[in-house]
Chain A
Amino acid sequence: MGMTITEKILAKHAGRERVEPGELISAKVDAVLGNDITAPLAITEFEKIGVERVFDPERVYLVPDHFVPNKDIKSAEQAKLMREFARKQELVHYFEVGRMGIEHCLLPEQGLVVPGDVIIGADSHTCTYGALGAFATGVGSTDLAAAMALGETWFKVPETIKFVYEGELPKWVSGKDLILYTIGDIGVEGARYMAMEFTGPVIEKLSMDGRFTMCNMAIEAGAKNGIVPPDEITAEYVRERAKRPYHFEYSDEDAQYARTITYDASWIEPQVSFPHSPDNTRPVTRATHVQVDQVVIGSCTNGRIEDLRVAARILNKRKVHPNVRMIVFPGTQEIYLQAMSEGLFRIFIEAGGAVSTPTCGPCLGGHMGILAKGERAVATTNRNFIGRMGHPESEVYLASPAVAAASAITGRITHPEEVI
């Protein structure tokens, strides 16, 4: 009997011929990561273990991105603790403000996560790297601490749900819409503890940026990991970037899946997730009555160059509605420079929007765009839980960069066709 790509990667890292879903295995990790919220706890726990050094200073990635540039004294203390640990341990990949990015945009871009890897990160959106054909999953700080000491961790081998996207993507429909549609279909625990394998002709044509967006939100269906079979698009992306050798794994023809779900993407409209759950999705045409106060474009879900390009295309020579605050967050400094050189920032600023340095700030209600009581935002982020972007009585509607940009112009949730 064959294995899925997820099972093959885990078997290889466990030093085994094969693994079965449900088995508990110990596996080597290629790298681990933490951020300024999760790493301080992990560092405290690591120091209790009593080992002097991390397992490999080239494979522990620390990225201050959540509350940086430091939003207050307490967060400055947390960032400092992390910085001092990175220096003491001589970590090669610690990314300071000015050289950093949102971790899940930054690490693939820097070639620090590659196809075939096993990666754990103390951040739930670590599953983003599955877009490269890697196994990547989020853990808590104590698991990160243990893996920083051991270079390995334990996993329960997940069952896999195979998703097949047939047909052609309609205009204005993106990877974000596909994943919102999927979560809307299977629910926020529809893939709990499982792997989501994204396949089919639509995925084969989807850009890396679109694939990152889809894998990023696998966690919002409760999944352990999202994964896309690597191909020429993957190869093109990693060729110039990879800092380590990589290898492509593929699911066998006779691999066992818990379920196979097929969608005809030709009929999928741009999607909007209503408060307060990512699975509360509706087609955008059934959301156009919702007025908004703020539009957020960016994050680890949609802060990549392709996302900024589509938003700029819609906002070009148009104005942000007088009642709307639009804030754009490029994912990394490299994306920032690229967007700047393409003139995208001129478009956003002339439209009346603000452009920020990379940060997770508003997505999790940290800083840089907090909502007051009763306010509503359309955001290209990943969660619309109660209080996610600020006041517990504020609301977040999740959508693609195209829908977010169109909504910024009209002041209510809008299909891009309406403004173009």
Chain B
Amino acid sequence: MQLQGKAWKFGDNIDTDQIIPARYLNTSDPAELAKHCMEDADVGFAAAVNDGDLIVGGSNFGCGSSREHAPISIKSAGVSCVIAASFARIFYRNAFNIGLPILECAEAVAGITQGDAVAVDAGTGMIKNLTTGKDYQAKPIPPFMQEVIAAGGLIEHVKRKLG
């Protein structure tokens, strides 16, 4: 899967309260959640992000609450992929379960600056910074996660399992 867009850089320990503050959790409507995506980290993000853009975070991205509303708001805001140096574990599971591509690559995070054009092959984990011309290889996605992705998310995977 080829993904391409502009990079939006964020720091370390971006928690799910910053990704989608609890004041908006009285709904689970993806379109509504998208309007407030990343609001407490960058109040202008949701209005300015374009379809296909990428979020580039530091370490421990998505820490804190288990709210699946966080990856849902990112996905429904049009973000094609999140690249981070590392992910908090619940966010990591949630992203795969709902079909949001995420890649772990500290080198890419260091080599991408705000606004760079970035292309990603989510299948191979190859990240290209089109602005600088540098390539990066993300950590491989565990085989079980690949099965979940191939099925189209956890629910489809469970449906197959139940036959």
Contacts and interface: CB of A to CB of B under 8 A. Distances in A.
A41 B69 contact: yes
Nearest to B153: A142
Contact of B63 (A51, A189, A364, A365): A189
Contacts of B90: 124, 138-140
Contacts of A150: 158, 161-162
Given A37-B69, A123-B65, A385-B15, 12 more contacts: A51-B162, A123-B66, A142-B155, A145-B155, A146-B154, A146-B155, A192-B60, A193-B89, A366-B22, A383-B64, A383-B65, A388-B17
A141 interface: yes
A192 B86 CA distance: 10
Interface string A106-128: 00000000000000011110100
B59 A189 contact: yes
B18 A142 contact: no
Interface string A184-226: 0000110011000000000000000000000000010010100
* The 4 A-B residue pairs with the shortest CB-CB distance in the complex, in nearest-first order: A140-B94, A74-B26, A140-B68, A142-B97
B93 interface: yes
A366 B25 CA distance: 8
Contact of A122 (B15, B27, B66, B72): B66
Nearest to A46: B155
A124 B65 contact: yes
A387 interface: yes
B141 interface: no
Contacts of A189: 13, 59-60, 63, 86, 88
Interface of B: 13, 15, 17-18, 21-23, 25-28, 39-41, 43, 59-60, 63-69, 71-72, 86, 88-90, 93-94, 97-98, 142, 144, 153-155, 158-159, 161-162
Contacts, number: 142
A116 to B, nearest CB: 23
A154 B96 CA distance: 13
Nearest to B161: A150
Interface residues of A, number: 52
A142 B154 contact: yes
Nearest to B92: A193
Contacts of B60: 188-189, 192, 222
Given A49-B155, A142-B155, A364-B22, A192 B162 contact: no
A71 B88 contact: no
A149 interface: yes
A75 interface: yes
A380 interface: no
